[in-house]
Amino acid sequence: MKTIERRTFLTGALVAGAEGLISSDFSRAEQAASSTGIIQKKTHPNRIAVSTYSFWRFKDDLKLSIESCIDQAAEMGFDGVEILHIQMEKESNEYLQNLKRRTLVGGLDLCGLSIHQGFVSPDAEKRQQNIDHTIKCIELAYELGIPIIRINTGRWGTTKSFDELMANRGIEPPLAGYTDEDGFKWVIDSIEKCLPIAEKCGVIIGLENHWGLARTPEGLIRIIKAIDSVWLKVLLDTGNFLEDPYDKLETCAPHTVYMHAKTYYGGGIWYTLDLDYSHIAQIMQRHNFHGYVSLEFEGNEDYKTALPKSLELLRKSFS
């Protein structure tokens, strides 16, 4: 048997004793923290993306190619890019795969596909056309490696222009002879028809609080709970609750997997909200939100200065 040197023995004993004391101190500290309810889960900063809409904003002569948006997003330091479907120039496999390649080379993720459709219509054929469009977009997202698409409920269409809708704070009456109850049934039935393809492709359907029947938290959550699927979640837009947004954001937060963050540098195109993103980040962190925060810039300032400022704001708030 080898003899253990006295110095080695003493050193080992001291280290073991110290470790025991530290472990004991940590254990007591954890017990104390637990008794006061202040233990916090480990978390990480939310990744910040930018929607290609932020470069365009439907302004005349400002529609950029998706490729240009990807390159500029990489130069500005974003983590990901969300594609606005109607901004895409093609849907060929070659085009899609080149977008994937370009994004990877730029060090970004393709993290979202934002589409336009609507299920609020008494015309079954029209609803089916929108179901088919949604399914096609789920498959496009799958080909692009995108894990979520943004959908809307759709609107009644009794307000003839978006400018008029915004002047009415997003509120519009149903079609004559119908009620919102009819609309909720159409929306729920239509989304349910899309879910098998979403599950097959591994693409979450993100229902946004984007006017229509999801204009309120109650309407939005009603649809989410009625369908009750892991493939349908909330895509929460910070700028679409025009009054008292924070309580409404908190109501939606437990169901949220992705967020649109609005900024309005230079004054809003339709309206301006003074949003406290530090407060919003605290709300989302309370509900264990780890998803992407995707910038939708909706102001009149030049995007070349407004987007970097927005990125700095969101990084600081969600860090």
Alpha-carbon gap, residue 184 to 24, rounded angstroms: 57
pTM, to two decimals: 0.86
- 82-106 confidence digits (pLDDT tens): 999 999 999 999 999 999 999 999 9
Phi, psi of 238 (to 5 degrees): -70, -20
Domain map (residue ranges) of the chain? 1-36, 46-317
Burial of 180 per CB tally in 10 Å (0-12, 13-18, 19+): middle
**Angstrom distance (rounded) from CA 71 to CA 78:** 10
Q: 145 by DSSP, 3-state: which?
A: coil
Strands 148-151 and 109-114: parallel
Please state, in angstroms and rounded to a whole number, the distance separating the CA atoms of residues 218 and 180: 13
Q: What is the pLDDT of residues 246-285, one digit of tens each?
A: 999 999 999 999 999 999 999 999 999 999 999 999 999 9
Residue 14: which residues within 8 A CB-CB, separation 6 or more? none
Segment 45-68 shows an average pLDDT of 95
Residue 286: how many other CB atoms lie within 10 Å: 11
What average pLDDT does the chain have? Answer: 89
- Helix (H/G/I), strand (E/B), else coil: 60: coil
The topology (CATH level 3) of 46-317 is TIM Barrel (3.20.20)
Are 256 and 236 contacting, i.e. CB atoms less than 8 angstroms apart?
A: yes
pLDDT in tens, 117-176: 999 999 999 999 999 999 999 999 999 999 999 999 999 999 988 888 888 888 899 999
The proportion of the chain whose per-residue pLDDT surpasses 70, expressed as a percent, equals: 87
In this model, does residue 315 exceed pLDDT 50?
Answer: yes
Residue 304 has pLDDT above 90, yes or no: yes
Calculate what percentage of the chain has a pLDDT beyond 90: 80
CB 56 within 8 A of CB 64: yes
**Tokens encoding 293:** 């925060």
Confidence bin at 12 (pLDDT 50/70/90): very low
Measured between alpha carbons, how far is 113 from 122 in angstroms, rounded to an integer? 27
Helix (H, G, I), strand (E, B) or coil at 85: helix
């079954």: which residue's tokens? 124
Listed ranges 20-29, 42-51, 150-159; the one with the highest mean pLDDT: 150-159
C-alpha to C-alpha distance for 303 and 259, rounded to whole angstroms:
20
SS3 of residue 53 by DSSP: helix
In the predicted structure, residue 22 carries a pLDDT above the cut 60: no
pLDDT at 21 over 80: no
